[in-house]
Amino acid sequence: MDIEAINLTKRFGNRVALDNVSFRFSGPGAIGYLGPNGAGKTTTLKIFSHLLRPTYGKALINGIDVADGYAKALESVSALVETPEPYPKLSIKDFLTLIGGMRGLSREETTSRIAELKEKLSLEDLAVQGAKLSKGHKQRVALAATLMSDTDIMLLDEPTAGLDPAETYDVKKIIKELKRTRLVLMSSHLLDEVTELCDSVAFINKGRLLLTDTVKNVTNKFGKGKAGSAGLEDAYLKIIKGG
Amino acid sequence: MALFKNQLKLMRAAAISVSVLVALVTGMMIYSASSNLIPASSFFSSYALILPILVGVIATLMCGDMGTRDFYYPAGLIVLAQPVKRWVAFMARFSASAILAIVPLTILFVSAAVGSNYFYGATMPGMLASFAVAVLYMLSFIAFIAFISIVAGEGAALTTGILISVMAVLFLLVLEHFYGIEPWFFLPYAGMSIGAVTSTPYPTHFVPNGIFPYTPYLSEAIEIMVGYTALSLASAIWFYSRREVL
Ligand SMILES: Nc1ncnc2c1ncn2[C@@H]1O[C@H](COP(=O)(O)OP(=O)(O)O)[C@@H](O)[C@H]1O
Ligand SMILES: [Mg+2]
């Protein structure tokens, strides 16, 4: 299980969102993708989930170029990018069933997986239509859709943004469980969350990848010896602000 | 397959409301025909005249949101990141919409048959042939609307579809009558054959002094509709496959 970016570049008109980004991560484990707003995190994850096409360069998933064989490549990827929502007129159950079907699950597998996720993510009433859900609830349904199948690679874009503390706790618990057996690449700008969940970090700013290393090495090197998220905070400020 | 079922579900409400609308329109037509005691032949011909318009409107209402379904709703961020080829996804949605759109069309024809039998004791001649042509016309219209919807969005698709179907008669009048050209490139021209097949013999292709001088040959109409379907589907799939979720 690995994902690799080779000279990945994405331009929107003449705005450069990603500038020659190269990395390679192998799992299992969790990687925190860190950077300020507008750094290019979402753009990277969208290219890996075939929602955007790169202007230049390659995005490889287990060696398969997403641009060439996305249907094959995406079989091993589940992505939660930006803030997706279920269809307004479709019940939660119907939406998750659709995703199960698109993932090639049997009807029984789909049903049991939905029951399991309902428990894990406190989804409450599955018959409610998408339009009637609260923001946090929509996000939990979107996460449930992402967890419908057991893929090797999980791409999570700020997975806890907009969630209340209890919801955040649930999601963190799920990520901790996932990263034991899978490769999780999660973008975030919550440093304590990254410290808690991730083994490695990648820093990106203005479309350029600045550094990738283990959390430990980064805090040792840039964190003035401070442990935990305080160390990572110092590191973040130094690396992003070019100190 | 999952997407096919999903599309059926998403469009169930639309299908029901369009069917009810169609039933109302036909009911009113039959009622006014019976109360004014229009002769049977003119009932048939007025029915055949209004059919292409109704088919166009039904197709537009059913498929105008084809392009927005995945690309504008935030659900697309999940749905389009699934390991399913884009053309497969598009065809699943398209075929489900087409099948659902044929439901109100069938209601239209069945009620015409029942109504005309009841009031005139005769069914519209060439009714089955007319239904077959109408289905093909529906298919080509849906494909065309889906294409517009994917390229230019729901608003453009709704406007184009309604405009083309409602104003078809006017466009045809201008093109045929005033410019004297055979509008083989204009989809509703092919739609004229829905009515044409109900008259025996089949209308002459060119009548120099008619209001609408040209009537498409049946084979020509079929070619136009098949052509529109093929071209629209191919371009719709091309755009659907390359479209990014910004
Ligand atoms: N659809 C778009 N059109 C134009 N510019 C965009 C679009 N999406 C993103 N960008 C630009 O690309 C850059 C990176 O954005 P993004 O990947 O969303 O950043 P992040 O997720 O790290 O906050 C930003 O400068 C943003 O303005
Ligand atoms: Mg972002």
pLDDT in tens, A203-219: 999 999 998 999 888 88
Report residue B215 as tokens. 């009537």
Residue B192: both structure tokens together: 């004229």
- What tokens does A217 get? 């090495």
The percent of residues in chain A predicted with pLDDT above 90, rounded, is 66
Residues of A in contact with B245 (CB under 8 A): 46, 51-52
Most confident of A153-157, B22-26, B170-174: A153-157
Shortest Cα–Cα distance, A129 to chain B (Å): 12
Q: Is A79's C-beta closer than 6 angstroms to any atom of ligand 1?
A: no
What confidence category does residue B120 fall into, taking pLDDT thresholds of 50, 70 and 90?
Answer: confident
Mean of pLDDT values over B135-143: 94
pLDDT class for B40, splitting at 50, 70, 90?
low
Q: Yes or no: say if A113 and A105 are a contact pair by the CB < 8 Å rule.
A: yes
Nearest CB neighbour to A71, from listed B13, B77, B83? B83
Residue B212 C-beta-side C-alpha neighbours within 13 Å: 19
- Dihedral angle of Cα B108, B109, B112, B118, to the nearest 10 degrees: -120
A37 CA: nearest ligand 1 atom:
23
Nearest to A43 by CA among A74, A75, A70, A12: A12
State how many domains chain B has. 1
Which has more pLDDT, A53 or B92? A53
Distance CA B24, CA B50 (A): 14
Mean pLDDT for chain A overall: 91
| B215-218 contacts at long range (C-beta below 8 A, 24 or more positions apart) | B216/B184, B216/B189, B216/B190, B216/B192, B218/B133, B218/B193
Residue B36: what pLDDT? 64
Give the mutation candidate from A102, A106, A148, A153 for the B interface (greatest B CB count, under 10 A). Answer: A102
Give the pLDDT band of residue B42 (cuts 50, 70, 90): low
Pairs of CB atoms within 8 A across A/B: 85
Range of the domain at B207: 2-242
| The pLDDT of residue B33 | 66
Judge whether residue B34 has pLDDT over 70. Answer: no
Q: What is the pTM of this model?
A: 0.88
User: Looking at the predicted structure, is the pLDDT value of residue B226 above 80?
Assistant: yes
Contacts of A95 in chain B (CB under 8 A): 75
CB contact under 8 A, A50 and B75: no
- What are the angstrom distances between the C-alpha of B15 and each of B10, B18, B105? 10, 5, 11
By Cβ distance, the residue of A53, A103, A130 closest to B244 is A53
Query: Which ligand neighbours the alpha carbon of A36 most closely?
Result: 1
> Considering just the CA atoms, what is the radius of gyration of chain A in Å?
18
